[in-house]
Amino acid sequence: MAKKPVIGILGGGQLGRMLQEQAALLGIELVVLDEGNCPARQINQNDKHVTGSFKDPEKIRELARRCDVLTVEIEHINTEVLEEIATVGVQVGGQMKKVPVHPSWETLRLIQDKYLQKVHFEKERMPIAPQMPIEPGASMLDSLQEAAKTFGFPFMLKARKGSYDGRGNFKISRPGDFEEAVNVMRKLSLYAEKFLPFQKELAVMVLRTENDEGELKGVYAYPAVETVHDENICTKVFYPPRGVPTGVCEEARKVASGVARTLKGRGVFAVEMFLLQDDTLVINEVAPRPHNSGHYTIEAIPYMSQYKAQLYSILDIVPPSIKLQPRVSGAIMLNILGGAAQDSHESLVDLTQSLYDSSMDIFLHLYGKSSKPGRKIGHITVTSYSPDANLEQLAAPLIKEVDHIRQ
């Protein structure tokens, strides 16, 4: 068998770490650009790693010199350098070496700006929440008033770039909120979005394959899951979604597959959606990489977890007949978010051990990160093979403890 290409990854957080776990099983070499003690490098001592920031152009070029294909674990990166590396190349011993980037730098650039991302989906006739750009500087207040007139209250004020875990979101409920919104958000490039009183949030991971000429080969959707957010941050994921008709879940998979078809490059994509009261779906945003809503696939779809799919897609070795059907009847993923104290989550870890002999399987993942309030430091997946098991009830002590830590 030909030697597998070396994959370079920008960012070595928990997603990079879980990708590394899978790469190790498959004998795939992963080279990480991030700080020396990042979660991915803690479990992979490759001496080709590049130490530094994944935002630093020179470090990205250095990573490109050391690998055959580049990927990312985060979309908030410098796409100008990635474009240069993919199209012009990087200097190696007096020669230029082009390194492909997956997903495409064009996709990363588009998705990086949440406003432009949705302009793109709207052009493709896909459902999004009504949105408008917000003017910066002295015009910001007028612009907010305009948004309130168009959308009514409440509406969402959002950072176009760089946000995660809801950190760039500000809900404006009344004119009295304008002043604080200006103070908190004025340094950011912004847009406003109609607030959608959804019944649930769903997400679908999609695997996209492409040949070396950049032509689409296939799009494969994982099952729909329900994501639960508390204060803008994902805390729980349910497979299957609770109380959502099968037809709606299938529709969500179709929407997500349609989204992936409009993008470029190989890899997995997460499509976050709102399920409205009338059972219609609206796209919230897309993540061009493995995603929190797909962690459950490690145990639920072990033959093709989202991490394995990411590697297979990048290397273009996805079997065309692949079916992404879970091997379990149900799964729940609980994020472990840091609490008020460094060790707030220890009681939860103890609890997973004390529940080990019950009728569900419990899988604890800790990312090797120090704890800070609200920081994602690990997750727990519980699964059941029995269609009759009430997994939510079985997992109730864990769910209660996860919620308790955050308070």
The number of beta carbons lying within 10 Å of the beta carbon of residue 268 is: 29
213-232 mask for ligand ATP (x: CB under 6 A)?
----------------x--x
Write the DSSP assignment of 164-200 as a string of letters.
-TTTTEEEE-SGGGHHHHHHHHTTS-EEEEE----SE
Among the listed residues 129, 185, 237, 391, the single contact to ligand ATP using CB under 6 A: 129
Among the listed residues 34, 84, 177, 201, the single contact to ligand ATP using CB under 6 A: 201
Q: Does residue 192 interact with ligand ATP by CB under 6 A?
A: no
Among Mg ion, ligand ATP, none, partner that 201 touches (CB below 5 to 8 angstroms by kind): ligand ATP
Determine the interface stretch with ligand ATP among 12-20, 57-65, 191-199, 302-310 (rule: CB under 6 A). Answer: 191-199
134-163 mask for ligand ATP (x: CB under 6 A)?
----------------------x-x----x
Closest CA to 261 of 163, 125, 161: 125
Min CB(171)–ligand ATP separation in Å: 8
CB closer to ligand ATP out of 15 and 399: 15
- φ, ψ for residue 387, nearest 5 deg: -65, -20
Residue 385 tokens read as 């093979």
Q: Counting Cβ atoms within 10 Å, is residue 141 exposed (0-12), middle (13-18) or buried (19+)?
A: middle
Closest CA to 360 of 327, 400, 328: 328
Closest CA to 406 of 323, 313, 353, 335: 335
Q: Which of residues 236-295 bind ligand ATP (CB under 6 A)?
A: 272, 284-285
Min CB(152)–ligand ATP separation in Å: 12
Determine the interface stretch with ligand ATP among 46-54, 194-202, 350-358, 360-368 (rule: CB under 6 A). Answer: 194-202
CB closer to Mg ion out of 292 and 344: 292
Edge-to-edge strand order for the sheet containing 190-194? 131-134, 190-194, 155-159, 169-172
Determine the interface stretch with ligand ATP among 145-153, 164-172, 306-314, 319-327 (rule: CB under 6 A). Answer: 164-172
Residues 162 and 188: their CA atoms lie apart, in Å, by: 9
Please report, as ranges, the residues that interact with Mg ion according to CB under 5 A.
Answer: 272, 285
CB closer to ligand ATP out of 66 and 369: 369
Q: Which of residues 169-188 bind ligand ATP (CB under 6 A)?
A: 169
Q: Does residue 374 interact with ligand ATP by CB under 6 A?
A: no
**Residue at token pair 């093709």:** 304
> Quick one: how far is CA 293 from the chain centroid?
7
Residues 11 and 77: their CA atoms lie apart, in Å, by: 9
Query: What crossing angle do the helices spanning 140-151 and 178-185 adopt, rounded to 10°?
Result: 130
CB closer to Mg ion out of 146 and 285: 285
CB closer to Mg ion out of 127 and 368: 127
Footprint of ligand ATP on this chain (CB under 6 A)?
A: 129, 156, 158, 163-169, 193, 195-196, 201, 229, 232, 272, 284-285
